[in-house]
Structure 1
Amino acid sequence: MDILKQRVLQALSLTDDFYNHINDGCLRLKISDVPSNTIGEQAYCIIGARESYLKALKISQWAGFDCSLVDSNDKTLIIIKLEETYTNIERFLQDISIDEINNNLLIDLLEHEVQHHGQLIRYAYANKIEFPKSWNIRYTV
């Protein structure tokens, strides 16, 4: 598998690990004293981007943002949507050659996911949330 595909799946997996690791109450947490949405609302953006970039990758152009997550405070639903979007992207990447992919869209997806990792690191530090082991290994947090 191409390195770009591997890195996308690695980033998606790390996000999934973070949300599996935190408890339900963390979804409502913000970063105090700065403009901030919640950790759950971060999941809404992540899931929506995964769904929207996959749609864009299938047609080789951006087609707008949509998100099927209906409750950003429901950890069970967030986990289901994270797993679903991971599986859908993984299947798409397995079924297509890298030459057939709009690499700009794939890189945009990777950048978006990793940008949220940086945000989630700030949320975790601000709220004294411990990181999953995979994050300690990947980011030395």
Structure 2
Amino acid sequence: MEKLKQRVLQAMSLTDDFYNHINEDCLPLKIADAPSNSIGEQAYCIIGARESYLKALKVGKWAGFECSLTDSYNKTLIINKLEETHTNVERFFQDSSIGDMDSNLVLDLLEHEVQHHGQLIRYAYANNIVFPKSWNVRYTV
């Protein structure tokens, strides 16, 4: 379980790096000629999942999706929410015993975060966005 928690936090750091790296004018970008939301709306889903999975981990079962991000096109707000949710998950991992956590919920959180990495890679390629160095190292993009 320790390795799993470490991988969740690593994935969150990569997400944080991506949004710190891009310019605010990237947030409304979509993938042309394909059904897609925007890069900013991807952040809404990521932040909401972090908040919702943390809530689920605390109560021991899925308790629904909620997101406190109020503006998907405000980079400062997105960065603040990414940092806040990352810190909250990290604190929960530090303060909770391994046996208290539902490993399926932790896996679901990891899968969700990494699935968004794949989507963000497609958005970056479609919009000629340069990747942060951490993404070049992790994904050889």
TM-score by length of 2: 0.99
Distance in 1, matches of 2:120 and 2:91, equals 26
Distance in 1, matches of 2:68 and 2:36, equals 22
Match of 2:71 in 1: 71
Distance in 2, matches of 1:72 and 1:102, equals 30
Structure 2: runs of 5 or more not aligned: none
Which 4+ residue blocks in structure 1 deviate beyond 4 angstroms? none
1:83-94 equivalent positions in 2, closer than 5 A:
83-94=83-94
1:113-128 equivalent positions in 2, closer than 5 A:
113-128=113-128
Aligned length: 141
What letter corresponds to residue 50 of structure 2 in structure 1?
R
For residues 92-133 of structure 1, give each alpha carbon's deviation from its aligned partner in whole angstroms, at most 9, with x where no partner exists.
Answer: 000112221000000000000000000000000000000000
Distance in 2, matches of 1:98 and 1:46, equals 24
What letter corresponds to residue 36 of structure 1 in structure 2?
S
Structure 1: runs of 5 or more not aligned: none
Distance in 2, matches of 1:139 and 1:72, equals 25
What letter corresponds to residue 19 of structure 2 in structure 1?
Y
What letter corresponds to residue 51 of structure 2 in structure 1?
E
What letter corresponds to residue 14 of structure 1 in structure 2?
L
Instruction: Report the aligned-residue RMSD.
Output: 0.8
Identical counterparts, % of pairs: 78
Local SS of the residue matching 1:67: coil
Match of 2:7 in 1: 7
CA apart distance, 1:77: 0.1
TM-score by length of 1: 0.99
CA apart distance, 1:55: 0.2
Match of 1:47 in 2: 47
Distance in 1, matches of 2:73 and 2:12, equals 20
Match of 1:26 in 2: 26
Distance in 1, matches of 2:93 and 2:11, equals 14
Distance in 2, matches of 1:55 and 1:96, equals 13
What letter corresponds to residue 28 of structure 1 in structure 2?
P
Match of 1:37 in 2: 37
Match of 2:108 in 1: 108
